[in-house]
């Protein structure tokens, strides 16, 4: 795909809310009946499994602190300028890691590590060093592990970037969102293009394996004309990866968004135009469309994984790593171990209180049923490979695909008539056009979503 083949009519048609499917079932289905005992059982089953030490882990560490508030933000964060809060938080993280290793045993292999937030670079270089040393003492982080960190460009310089590389981080993600000065002021995140361009140059000189840039369309004061300038500037910077998100304005759920003036938000037509511009701009600039909202240069590991059919999806989005257990550390962090999902307490007070009691801070989650697991396999095949082979699902889950998913197959016929998928006796193939709306295809197999038409809690597909 070298240019955007998507019409404005199609973009409008599929401008509906829907899950991002970083998991199935989605996190809104987690229940508080799932707690520490259930999570401990999942960890124990992993430890006692026949290939426990052969299957690597993925680690996610949530750093909730930010020095200033970005009005669009829907992340779990704590706004503070008191840097001393980081030291206390690290002590609690260390205790949480200890509780894990008491169950799993030491030296569990780790192939992927991600620091998210909040703003991970809220921590000083010394504190980040302490965190990485603590993780390496407790886990066997592989020499070639993918170690990534999210960066607010306002919090780093060339010296800090070098320090991150020295700590073992080989992938970085810059939160840019938009380069237009008026848009930046409207969302309370001012970071000039020149500043980001200089950091990108420094990062390349230092030698990071991959540099990602996050963008958001649909922000206040954005117009198709202003966003076109941002797209041109991003194309000039040529990051290895680009994540393009549609802004979901949900002020009733996310208090910071109440500072955004609804009257300044672009209308639906303008959002469609911005998305269409972005698809065309990045594809014509030589980026590979990975899926949903991700683009990568052809030589990037993510694009290579897509070509080779090795894409996977986890709570951080598309991944090159094989499907593996994920340990979530820190306040609100989500994990996946075996056939379970778990999430830590969402407030710092509750998180710390549970750890003070000597308990793992899990306060909700889900044990997946056989139906959940079968549907997850179908949804992830669609989201990652763009196809479902009936036989592979039938052999794995001992079911007759067309009978088990009879209602869903009827809906596939409707999508086939719209040019979104091709269905034959062997399986379902997402078309080039359908790949831009793969969430809409996957949604048809979401049992919970089909039974619950209240989808306003999700971001819009475009």
Who contacts 126 (Cβ-Cβ below 8 Å, separation ≥6)? Answer: none
Cβ atoms 58, 321 nearer than 8 A: yes
Domain borders along the chain are: 1-25+370-462, 27-326
Q: What CATH superfamily classification does 27-326 receive?
A: tm_1862 like domain (3.80.30.20)
Does the pLDDT value for residue 234 go beyond 70? yes
Cβ atoms 182, 192 nearer than 8 A: no
* CA distance linking residue 98 with residue 96, whole number of Å: 5
In words, the CATH class of domain 1-25+370-462 is mainly alpha
Selection from 143, 135, 213 nearest residue 172 by Cα:
213
pLDDT tens for residues 124-182?
999 999 999 999 999 999 998 999 999 999 999 999 999 999 999 999 999 999 999 99
Does the pLDDT value for residue 82 go beyond 50? yes
The per-residue pLDDT for 3 is 42
Cβ atoms 374, 399 nearer than 8 A: yes
User: Tokens at residue 140, please?
Assistant: 């066997």
Whether this prediction's pTM lies above 0.85 is answered by yes
Q: What is the mean pLDDT of residues 90-101?
A: 98
User: What's the number of CA atoms in the CB half-sphere (13 Å) around residue 178?
Assistant: 30
pLDDT tens for residues 9-61?
777 777 777 888 889 999 999 999 999 999 999 999 999 987 666 688 999 99
Who contacts 53 (Cβ-Cβ below 8 Å, separation ≥6)? Answer: 107, 108, 109
């Amino acid at each position: 795909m070298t240019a955007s083949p998507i019409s404005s009519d199609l973009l409008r048609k599929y401008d509906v809310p829907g899950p991002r499917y970083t998991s199935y079932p989605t996190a809104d289905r987690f229940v508080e009946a799932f707690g520490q005992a259930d999570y401990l059982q999942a960890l124990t089953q992993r430890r006692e499994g026949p290939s426990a030490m052969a299957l690597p882990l993925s680690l996610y560490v949530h750093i909730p602190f930010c020095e200033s508030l970005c009005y669009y933000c829907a992340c779990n964060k704590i706004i503070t300028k008191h840097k001393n809060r980081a030291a206390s938080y690290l002590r609690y993280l260390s205790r949480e890691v200890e509780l894990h290793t008491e169950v799993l045993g030491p030296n569990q292999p780790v192939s992927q590590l991600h620091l998210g937030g909040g703003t991970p670079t809220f921590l000083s270089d010394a504190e980040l060093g302490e965190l990485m040393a603590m993780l390496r003492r407790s886990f066997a982080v592989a020499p070639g592990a993918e170690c990534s960190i999210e960066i607010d460009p306002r919090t780093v310089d060339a010296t800090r970037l070098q320090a991150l590389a020295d700590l073992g981080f080989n992938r970085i993600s810059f939160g840019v969102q938009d380069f237009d000065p008026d848009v930046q002021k409207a969302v309370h995140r001012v970071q000039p293009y020149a500043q980001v361009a200089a950091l990108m140059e420094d990062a390349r000189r230092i030698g990071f394996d991959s540099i990602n840039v996050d963008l958001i369309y649909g922000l206040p004061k954005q117009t198709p004309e202003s966003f076109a300038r941002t797209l041109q500037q991003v194309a000039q910077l040529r990051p290895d990866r680009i994540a393009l998100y549609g802004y979901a304005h949900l002020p009733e759920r996310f208090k910071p968004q109440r500072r955004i003036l609804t009257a300044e938000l672009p209308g639906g037509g303008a959002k469609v135009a911005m998305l269409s511009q972005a698809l065309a701009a990045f594809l014509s600039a030589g980026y590979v469309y990975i899926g949903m909202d991700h683009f990568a240069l052809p030589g990037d590991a993510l694009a290579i994984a897509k070509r080779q059919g090795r894409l996977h999806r986890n709570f951080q989005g598309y991944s090159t790593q094989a499907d593996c257990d994920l340990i979530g550390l820190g306040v609100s962090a989500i994990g996946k171990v075996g056939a379970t999902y778990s999430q830590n307490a969402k407030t710092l007070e509750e998180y710390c209180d549970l750890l003070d009691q000597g308990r793992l801070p899990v306060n909700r989650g889900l044990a997946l049923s056989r139906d959940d697991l079968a549907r997850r396999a179908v949804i992830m095949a669609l989201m990652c490979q763009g196809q479902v082979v009936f036989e592979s699902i039938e052999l794995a889950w001992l079911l007759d695909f067309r009978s088990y998913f009879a209602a869903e197959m009827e809906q596939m016929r409707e999508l086939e008539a719209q040019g979104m998928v091709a269905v034959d006796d062997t399986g379902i193939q997402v078309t080039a056009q359908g790949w831009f709306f793969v969430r809409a295809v996957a949604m048809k197999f979401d049992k919970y979503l089909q039974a619950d038409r209240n989808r306003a809690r999700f971001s819009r597909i475009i």
